[in-house]
Structure 1
Amino acid sequence: MNASQQHLNGDHWDDRLAGGCPALLIRGNRSTVLSGEHAKDMVVRRPYTRLVELLTGRTVHASVPAEFAAAVRGFLGSL
């Protein structure tokens, strides 16, 4: 698990900005892993990215599954 976590560290902007297809970023508004400021920066820097913030921590899909599913359905329905 530690080795996996280390791969998340670093500068991934080149990879993130390389794509041009629509993207959905779902963030828990109480997350200590991804700040709201960083999430908004991700949306500004990459076109066609939608940010949805849900009332929870970082494990959005597990802690608010219905809201997570609704966000994904809404995004896919808009494509």
Structure 2
Amino acid sequence: MHEKYVKNLQTFKMASTYVGVSGIIFLLFSFFENGSNLTLGLGIGLTASSVVLFLLGIFLGLMEEYTLASKRKTALAQPSRQFHY
């Protein structure tokens, strides 16, 4: 994989890490605080969005690698010379 795409994947990993940690902090805060359903919902939402963000980064990295691999070996269909009418 090219270095540019590894940096893009690293950006998604760092963003999902920060969002996931903040989501876990909100979850823990909501468990210790009585009656804070908003904080619990925010924690669950941030934690779930970090998983989605991480999976999106992996998907984009794989698609970029697939695109580069397909550009390297472009196969063109050529007619067979053995077939005669």
Same fold at TM > 0.5: no
Higher strand share: 1
Higher helix share: 2
Higher relative contact order (CA 8 A, sep 6+): 2
Q: What TM-score does the superposition give when structure 1 sets the normalisation length? A: 0.30
Q: What TM-score does the superposition give when structure 2 sets the normalisation length? A: 0.28
Of structures 1 and 2, the larger Rg is shown by 2
